[in-house]
Amino acid sequence: MKLRVLGCSGGIGGNLRTTSFLLDHDVLIDAGTGVNELSLTELSVIDHIFITHSHLDHIACIPLLVDSVGFMRDRPLTIYATSETQEILQQHIFNWKIWPDFTQIPNAQNPYMRFQTIALGETVDLSGRRITAIPALHTVPAVGFHLESDSASLVFSGDTTNNDAVWEVVNRIENLRYLIIETAFSDNERELAIVSKHMCPSMLAEELLKFRGGAEVYITHLKPGEVELTMRQIEKSVHGCTPRMLLNNQEFEF
């Protein structure tokens, strides 16, 4: 399995792109503005999109992707989401007011897009590529994802705050090679991080004390304008491992 970072920023501007990862050639993990990195041909062969939660920076490109390549495909694009996230997307995005309901286009029997509900703890097996929804704690219903091949694993936290439940899951993964975890704000904005259920460096340090593994740790979702400050604070706050900043077009094989 190969995971390519299409976008990992907490905002836009210049070369910044919001959260999206391409797994091999046919699976997206979230679909923020990073999806714009892909060509039309690359977009047309995406069969599966796994969504952590409904916030715009994680789903922005789904409507345009389906609209752009739906007619080029011979089967529906499958959107995997919890029932709560699916309901939000259907009610607020694919509602014929913000965007057409592509589960009904060109018709309900042969749509461009379909939803598949995934529950917390459930694993989807795509030809040996196992993707499991793991706990996240955010302002809307949310999950992270555990991606596993036959040889190794990667965990993506999604947007989350302090959450003991996720470490109970992560610490049981014996073959974990990479951990991608969010830290959206600097410690200067700790109160905002708490209210918005994101993390800042001091909160990240508290969380990583619960981590018993030896995986490489990468930081995602850094807010524009605070990247250098936040990473300096992480360096000072976190002990026992050395988190690195996630970068666009970085690739992980596992």
Q: Is 227 part of any domain?
A: yes
Give yes or no: residues 67 and 93 share one domain.
Answer: yes
Amino acid letter at 10?
A: G
* pLDDT, position 30: 99
CA 27 to chain centroid, in Å, comes to 12
145 and 101 belong to one structural domain: no
Asked whether the whole model's pTM tops 0.85, one would answer yes
> Is residue 220 a part of any domain in this protein?
yes
Q: Would you state the structure tokens that stand for residue 113, as one six-digit string? A: 């897009």
Residues 113 and 132 reside in one and the same domain:
no
- Are 168 and 110 found together in one domain? no
Q: What's the pLDDT band for 221 if we cut at 50, 70, 90?
A: very high
- On whether both 239 and 124 belong to a single domain, the answer is yes
Q: What single-letter DSSP state applies at residue 76?
A: P
In a domain, 90, yes or no: yes
Looking at residue 179, its amino acid is L
- Parallel, antiparallel or unpaired: strands 2-7 and 20-23: antiparallel
Contacts of 105 (CB under 8 A, 6+ apart): 70, 111, 112
**Measured distance CA(209)–CA(118) in Å, rounded:** 29
Residue range(s) defining the domain that contains residue 176: 120-246
For residue 185 the two structure tokens come to 């704000």
Tell me what pLDDT residue 62 has.
Answer: 98
| Structural domain includes residue 226 | yes
Strand ordering across the sheet containing 251-253: 113-117, 77-81, 48-50, 27-31, 20-23, 2-7, 251-253
pLDDT at 204: 98
**What would the two tokens of residue 252 be?**
């992980």
Task: Indicate whether 251 belongs to any domain.
Answer: no
Considering the domain architecture, whether residues 96 and 211 belong to the same structural domain is answered as no
The domain total for the chain is 2
Region 146-161: what's the mean pLDDT?
98
Percent of the chain having pLDDT more than 90?
100
Domain of 236: which CATH number?
3.60.15.10
